[in-house]
Structure 1
Amino acid sequence: MGNSLRFMIRWLSYPAIFGGTVAWMIWLLYTGIPYWPSTPIIAALGILLVALLERVQPFRGDWLEDHHDSLTDIIHMVVNLSVIQFTATVLARLGDWVPAEIRVFPTELPLWAQLVIVAAVLDLSLYAMHRISHHVPWLWRLHEPHHSAERLYWMNGERRHPLHAAIMAGPGLLVLFALGTPSALVATWFGILTVHLAFQHSNLDYSLGWLRRIIGVAETHRWHHKRDFEDAQVNFGKFLLVWDLLLGTFNDSASKPGSAEVGLRDRDYPTGYVGQLVEPFRSP
């Protein structure tokens, strides 16, 4: 592969693919085209491109190989993306039912500004619940399936216990619901976040340069998946790392990518989907 192609993939893949899908989804929001099925299709195209580029320019060659996890990750992805669709198309509509006279959400602002507010509320909620999940034992047990991956690649972003996924998003969604947030905004942000999570957990050799300190891309997120639990208490942000910078949990691991040994100390953790659903409820 030529150096010019390698350079383009490294520096342009995230801006081009993520930026392109975001622009497309926001365009749909402005035109009033229904979220379903347009936004999920756009998200799927973005994720597919990430998966293909991993094969062209992987961060680690051994992470391209199946680690007895592909089928499990496929099931996780199908289940959790279905949960997202349910949340976006059904639960989020509760905000539409809040009477107009008591709505607090600033719908008079431009749509892009409203979307930024939704993103900030959900991102802060996800950061807080993510960090708490590393310190509260029963929440950590629900979170363990996500950290049990022995490699990082495009499907890991959706490797989550569905109950933990609901707990993570719940506080932010409740706030937005109480404010009377339009459902289309919540649905659009979920679509955007889905593409970002594929990049965040990808086995793609790409970079955002100094922006890795602001946006939670793979360069910094790989450190969060370190097998040594003490090293993994950093970079909790799902999209923004602003919360990590402000609250002292940021770590820049871009200078030491070779130390990215990931997974759990418990090498006997279940690898099958059903086993990972049941394991959090077994006796410690």
Structure 2
Amino acid sequence: MGSTSRFLLRWFSYPAIFGGVSAGMIWLLYQDIPYWPSTAILAALGVACVAGLERLQPFRQDWLDDHDDTLTDLIHLVVNLSVIQFTATLLSRLGDLVPAELSGFPTELPLWLQLLIVAAILDLSLYAMHRLSHHIPWLWYLHEPHHSAERLYWMNGERRHPLHAAIMAGPGLLVLFAMGTPSELVATWFGILTVHLAFQHSNLDYSLGWLRRVIGVAETHRWHHKRDFEDAQVNFGEFLLVWDLLFKTFYDSASQPGSNDVGLRDRRYPTGYVDQLVEPFRPTPARAARRHRLPPTSRRS
């Protein structure tokens, strides 16, 4: 591949694909077109583009190879997107029970501004739950499958215990639907976030330049997956890194983690999907040992 193609992929893949898919989803919202299945189709196209571009310009060549994880990650992907959809649908039904006079969501504002409000509430909630998951033992055990990946690539964004996926999204969704937030706004943002998470965990050599300090892309998120816990307590933001900057958990460096620098210290963590579902509830000696190796609070800012 020529230098021009590499330059274009490095600097324009995220703006073109993420921006294009997001614009398409917002257009659907403005046209009042039902978000199912149109938003899901656009999200799938965006994620497929990320997967394809990894093959053209990988960040780490050896991360393209199967690490006994592809099937497990595919199941995680299907299950967790379904869990989020189910959770959002359930809470939206509960939100319909909120009397109109008690609804606090500003539906009189322009749609794009309403969507930004949804994004901010969900993103702050996800940041808080993500950070708590690194410091509360039982939440960490549910979060471990996500950090057990020995490589980072497009499917890692959805490598989560389904219970943890519901816990992560639950508080923000409860707040939104208690406010009477239209479900199509929430579905649109989750569609946008799905494509972003594929980029955030991708094995694609791309860059956002100085914007990597604002948006949680792969350049900064890779530090969050570093094997050493002392270096992993940074960059919790799912989309925005504003919260990390505000709460002193942001970290950046000119270097990047190496091929063998991501994953858990415990190399014995199970790789099968069912085993990863059961592991958080299994009182094994290995789990007892890990209880004493919980990630310490980072002093970096």
TM-score (norm 1): 0.98
Task: Report how many aligned residue pairs link the two structures.
Answer: 283
Alignment partner, residue 73 of structure 2: 73
Counterpart for residue 220 of structure 1: 220
For 2:166, the equivalent position in structure 1 comes to 166
Whether the aligned pair in 1 keeps the contact of 2:14 and 2:206 (CA below 8 Å) is yes
CA contact (8 A) 1:130 1:236 kept: yes
1:87 equivalent to 2:87? Answer: yes
Q: Deviations over 1:10-31 (max 9, x none)?
A: 0000000000000000000011
- TM-score, scaled relative to structure 2: 0.92
Quote the Cα distance in structure 2 between the aligned partners of 1:259 and 1:54. Answer: 17
Tell me if structure 2 keeps the 8 A contact 1:92–1:187: no
Change (3 A) 1:18 1:93: farther
Matches of 1:89 and 1:173, distance apart in 2: 10
CA distance in 1, matches of 2:59, 2:256: 9
* 1:275 aligned partner, one-letter code: D
Are residue 281 (structure 1) and residue 275 (structure 2) matched?
Answer: no
> In structure 1, what is the equivalent of residue 255 of structure 2?
256
Deviation, 1:97, is 3.4
How far apart are 1:95 and its partner, in Å?
2.4
Aligned to 1:156: 156
Which residue identity lines up with residue 256 of structure 2 in the other structure?
P
Structure 2 equivalent of residue 232 of structure 1? 232
TM-aligned CA deviation for residue 88 of structure 1: 3.5
Tell me if 1:109 matches 2:109: yes
Query: Which residue matches 1:181?
Result: 181
The equivalent of 1:7 in structure 2 is 7
The answer (yes or no) to whether the contact 2:84–2:169 under 8 Å persists in 1 is: no
Distance 1:239 1:92 in 2: 23
Residue 246 (structure 2) aligns with: 246
Q: 1:277 to 1:258 in 2, by over 3 A?
A: closer
Structure 2 CA distance for aligned equivalents of residues 280 and 232 of structure 1 = 20
Q: Percent identity?
A: 81
Q: Which amino acid aligns with 1:8?
A: L
1:92 Cα deviation after fit: 2.5
How much does 1:91 deviate? 2.8
Q: Would the aligned equivalents of 1:89 and 1:187 in 2 still touch at CA under 8 Å?
A: no
The alpha-carbon deviation at position 258 of structure 1 amounts to 4.6
- Structural RMSD (CA): 1.0
Look up the match of 1:63: 63
- Distance (Å, rounded) in 1 between the aligned partners of 2:255 and 2:241: 19
Note the residue ranges of structure 1 that are not aligned, 5 or more in a row: none
- 1:183-222 aligned within 5 A: 183-222=183-222
- In structure 2, what residue type is equivalent to 1:215? I
Check conservation: 1:148, 1:269, Cα contact below 8 A.
Answer: yes
Which runs of 5 or more structure 2 residues have no equivalent in the other structure?
288-301
Query: Partners in 2 of 1:195 and 1:93 — Cα distance?
Result: 26
